[in-house]
Amino acid sequence: MSTIALTAPAAMPPAPAKTSGYLVLAPSCLVLTVFFALPMGTTIGMSFTDGETLAPTLAHYQRFFSDGLSLAGLYRTTVMSILVAVCVTVFGYPVAYYLARSRSRWRAVVFALALAPELAGVVLRTYGWLIILEDRGFINDALLNLGIIASPLPLSKNLFAVVVGLTHVILPFGILSLTTSIQGIDPNLERAAQMLGASRLSVLRHIVLPLSVPGIVSSLLISFTMAASAYATPALLGGARFKVLATMIYEQVLFYIDWRFAAVMAIALLLMMLTVSFLGIRYETRRSNRRTNSEGVFS
């Protein structure tokens, strides 16, 4: 390349194209800088500065980690996200297995049923769960009328309701990620195991489950991060009685007008998600490293 450039300086790359390339990129960069990069920088900066003097301080973080309410929020967010991740993956797995393996015409129906609700929007689905789980909702109504219970069961405004609602919202994403992973497993492996005398349960235990671990991990990660950052569902189904970081950030900004504390909470949430994503990436690189190492034995 460089020799050509030396001997034939006339053959220059078309410079105007490159310049126009950057020009064309400018609007996107501008928008993302002004409305994403600068706000994020500001938020981080605010979390480390004093509100009055603008001097650098860790006081807001100290307050966050010594405040019972915010620690409780952090704890609730974590528990809720773990439960949602587990529910999504456990419930999504059979459907994903069916979608990955079935060749019947019902597959399209199951696919549509499993994924179409995603188009309905979060509010509609959360509203549906509100009607079902409310104190005067569908389930309690039915149970009261049948005389099974004397007073409404506490089905809403708690961890249970939020986990149910979020599982419902996130399930399609979990199913998609698991389906892709299971589709990557050669169906002949299952048949080979069967030919070698493995029952369905053994095939599941020794072949399908171990080979879909990457899909299970990615489903857990996606579900966890989506649950931790969800706002509308915890706000409606958890209400004032079950506050998570996302709803607490909103309160800090709009009710308490404590911007710096809101910034700290936002950064805590962001760090929590980045940690989980980082763990996922590390798992993935370790896995591919192991694969290249075993190839190395051969060469």
Least gap, CB of 217 to another protein (angstroms): 14
Closest of 267, 250, 236 to residue 168, by C-alpha? 236
Q: 268 CB contacts (<8 Å, ≥6 apart)?
A: 64, 74, 245
From residue 69 to residue 98, what is the string marking binding to another protein with x (rule CB under 8 A)? ----------------------xx-xx-xx
| 104 backbone φψ class: left, alpha, beta (φ>0; ψ -120 to 50) | beta
Distance CA(128)–CA(71), nearest Å, equals 31
Burial 145-159, CB ≥16 within 10 A → b, else e:
eeeeeeebeebbbeb
**Which member of 5, 40, 58, 79 binds another protein (CB under 8 A)?**
40
Q: Which is nearer to another protein, 7 or 297 (CB)?
A: 297
Task: Using the rule CB under 8 A, give the single segment among 69-77, 121-129, 143-151, 216-224 that binds another protein.
Answer: 121-129
Contact 173, 91 (CB under 8 A): no
By rule CB under 8 A, what count of residues binds another protein?
101
**Which member of 79, 200, 241, 281 binds another protein (CB under 8 A)?**
200
Q: Of residues 206-265, which lie at the interface with another protein (CB under 8 A)?
A: 206-207, 210-211, 225, 228-232, 235-236, 246, 249-250, 253-254, 259, 262-263
Least gap, CB of 245 to another protein (angstroms): 8
| Dihedral, CA of residue 120, residue 124, residue 129 and residue 131, to nearest 10 | -140
Q: Of residues 126-165, which lie at the interface with another protein (CB under 8 A)?
A: 127-132, 134, 136-138, 141
Distance CA(93)–CA(186), nearest Å, equals 17
Q: Is 199 one of the binding residues for another protein (CB under 8 A)?
A: yes
Task: Using the rule CB under 8 A, give the single segment among 4-12, 60-68, 70-78, 188-196 that binds another protein.
Answer: 188-196
Contact 115, 191 (CB under 8 A): no
**Which member of 6, 12, 22, 148 binds another protein (CB under 8 A)?**
22
